[in-house]
């Protein structure tokens, strides 16, 4: 079955350098630096990445960071809570716009 | 759960496991050629330092990832006579470190005798205790006291600090029994600073993934086990799962065999090669045959003399084992992946 996403493509991520090596090198160097130990630990960054992966609904990122979070010793409960945080922000981001809708209703309606 | 041997499963036969390695060769390079590319024309043993004695396949647990295919239905246990041959080998080789494993080694009726004989010879003794054996029957309840009296280093598997993941790998109820046993070991002084009684935990990933660096997980395990249960221990040994026996069975059954092998190859780290445990360890089977490691033992890759005859602990000259060529196959990628893997945890920082 043909699909837009092929799981094997994740391992080919580095191939994006074929058309523009200079920019790809900058991206991968920056990426590696972002995930290194810093003010936040590499372990904490893994959980953030897992949550963001769900917010972006990126199948490659979910595949990679689920495994990374398991490897870094997070429990299933912790991982699911992180996904709920992502979902809550996404849900909240929609709902908070309801204030715009309400403003417009008030603007248009005879008081 | 019955062992593969009890089920008469094809994977209970080591030749069948090796055939699966042949099948994957082509998709991944042979381990020997990867070694060669890294500048090693084979693997050669140094001076053997650790005698790892596998005293049998009998175990009170049937863990999903077990490379021994150990379990309650196994009947292979080392005899007192073979143990005596191991002790004679220690005397003539001068080796001073013994690592006792199984199965659950404590189920061997001569286990305590072997420990005390090794200690009387001044050997450092490590024992691989699955923890649940301590509470499995009242005759084992005094094991923590026995270990302490003999100054034995205790090395115990605990794949996670929560029940769900631990029990998935090691069986229902294993986590709770393990926590109870760890508390008993702590009460005896094990893992406590300045007690001199070493307690190390072993972490195997519960599934087809590699582990994070040892130090990161050790920190997490220490924090969680201390906060939740007041348990202390010395070191966490992080060990990769090798595609052998029941873990190979899991990989094949779940359709992840090729992907896992590719993962191991991608993670090949040449810096691990000088520290590989097979270079400094000798593994003895319950029957007294010699192997480069416990994994080769389960794949029946025996150490042989130049004529191809299997070496036996009763007759092997100690000097014949130095600089021998180590038998390698595709499972060896498990020990060279990432920071490396051995019975003593990761090999390089």
Residue A68 is assigned to a structural domain of this protein? yes
Q: Do the chains contact at A71 and B211, CB–CB below 8 Å?
A: yes
Name which of B5, B159, B156 is nearest B69 in CA terms. Answer: B5
Residue A26 lies in a domain: no
Statement: residue A1 has pLDDT above 80: no
What's the pLDDT tens digit per position in A77-90?
999 999 999 999 99
A71 and chain B in contact, CB less than 8 A:
yes
CB contact under 8 A, B207 and A71: no
Query: Best interface-test mutation with A: which of B164, B201, B216, B258 has the largest number of A CBs within 10 A?
Result: B216
* pLDDT of A111 strictly over 80: no
How high is the pLDDT of residue A8? 87
| Euclidean distance between CA atoms B46 and B341, whole angstroms | 18
Asked, for residue A78, whether it belongs to a domain, the answer is yes
Question: Can you tell me the distance from the alpha carbon of B222 to that of B232, in angstroms, rounded to the nearest whole number?
Answer: 7
pLDDT of residue A50: 98
pLDDT tens by residue, B119-161? 999 999 999 999 999 999 999 999 999 999 999 999 999 999 9
- At A46, which CATH number? 1.20.1290.10
Report the SS3 class of residue B206. Answer: coil
Structure-token pair, residue B289: 């045959």
> Could you read off the pLDDT of B74-113 as tens digits, one per residue?
999 999 999 999 999 999 999 999 999 999 999 999 999 9
CB burial of A63-77 (b: ≥16 within 10 Å; e: otherwise) equals ebbbbbbbbbbbbee
Nearest 5°: CA angle at B251, between B246 and B257? Answer: 135
Question: Could you tell me the domains of chain B?
Answer: 4-336 (3.20.20)
A73 domain-assigned: yes
- Partners of A68 on chain B (C-beta within 8 Å) are 212
Give the three-class secondary structure for B182. helix
The answer to the question of residue A93 being in a domain is no
Total of domains in chain A: 1
Residue A56 covered by a domain: yes
Could you list the residue range(s) of the whole structural domain that residue A75 is in?
A: 35-86
- In tens, the pLDDT along A37-92 reads 999 999 999 999 999 999 999 999 999 999 999 999 999 999 999 999 999 999 99
Q: Does A72 touch chain B (CB under 8 A)?
A: yes
Q: Are residues A70 and B209, on separate chains, in Cβ contact within 8 Å? A: yes
Structure tokens at B201: 């935990």
Q: Which residues pair with B41 in a beta bridge?
A: none
pLDDT at B217: 96
Among partner residues B165, B216, B262, which is closest to A43 by beta-carbon distance?
A: B216
């Amino acid at each position: 079955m043909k699909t837009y996403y092929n799981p094997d493509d994740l391992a080919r991520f580095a191939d994006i350098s074929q058309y523009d090596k200079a920019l790809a090198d900058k991206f991968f160097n920056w990426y590696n630096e972002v995930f290194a130990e810093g003010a936040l630990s590499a372990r904490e960054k893994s959980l953030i990445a897992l949550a963001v992966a769900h917010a972006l609904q990126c199948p490659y990122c979910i595949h990679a960071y689920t495994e990374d979070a398991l490897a870094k010793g997070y429990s299933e409960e912790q991982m699911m809570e992180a996904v709920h945080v992502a979902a809550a922000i996404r849900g909240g981001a929609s709902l908070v716009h309801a204030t715009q809708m309400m403003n417009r209703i008030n603007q248009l309606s005879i008081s | 759960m019955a062992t593969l041997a009890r089920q008469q499963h094809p994977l209970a036969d080591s030749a069948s496991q090796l055939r699966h390695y042949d099948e994957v060769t082509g998709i991944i390079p042979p381990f020997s050629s990867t070694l060669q590319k890294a500048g090693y024309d084979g693997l050669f043993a140094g001076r053997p330092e650790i005698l790892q004695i596998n005293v049998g396949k009998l175990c009170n647990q049937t863990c999903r990832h077990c490379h021994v295919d150990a379990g309650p239905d196994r009947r292979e246990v080392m005899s007192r006579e073979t143990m005596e041959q191991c002790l004679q080998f220690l005397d003539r080789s001068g080796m001073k470190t013994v690592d006792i494993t199984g199965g659950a080694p404590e189920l061997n009726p001569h286990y305590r005798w072997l420990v005390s004989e090794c200690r009387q010879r001044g050997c450092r003794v490590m024992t691989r205790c699955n923890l649940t054996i301590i509470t499995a029957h009242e005759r084992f309840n005094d094991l923590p006291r026995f270990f302490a009296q003999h100054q034995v280093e205790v090395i115990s598997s605990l794949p996670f600090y929560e029940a769900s993941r631990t029990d998935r790998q090691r069986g229902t109820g294993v986590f709770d029994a393990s926590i109870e046993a760890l508390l008993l070991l702590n009460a005896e002084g094990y893992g406590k600073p300045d007690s001199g009684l070493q307690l190390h935990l072993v972490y195997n990933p519960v599934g087809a993934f590699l582990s994070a660096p040892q130090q990161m997980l050790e920190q997490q395990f220490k924090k969680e086990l201390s906060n939740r249960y007041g348990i202390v221990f010395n070191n966490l040994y992080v060990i990769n799962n090798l595609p052998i026996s029941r873990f190979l069975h899991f990989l094949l059954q779940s359709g992840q065999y090729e992907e896992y092998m590719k993962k191991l190859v991608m993670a090949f780290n040449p810096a691990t090669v000088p520290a590989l445990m097979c270079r400094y360890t000798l593994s003895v089977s319950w029957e007294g045959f010699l192997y480069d490691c416990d994994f080769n033992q389960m794949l029946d890759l025996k150490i042989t003399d130049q004529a191809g005859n299997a070496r036996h602990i009763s007759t092997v000259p100690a000097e014949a084992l130095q600089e021998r060529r180590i038998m390698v196959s595709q499972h060896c990628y498990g020990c060279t992946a990432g920071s490396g893997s051995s019975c003593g945890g990761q090999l390089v920082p």
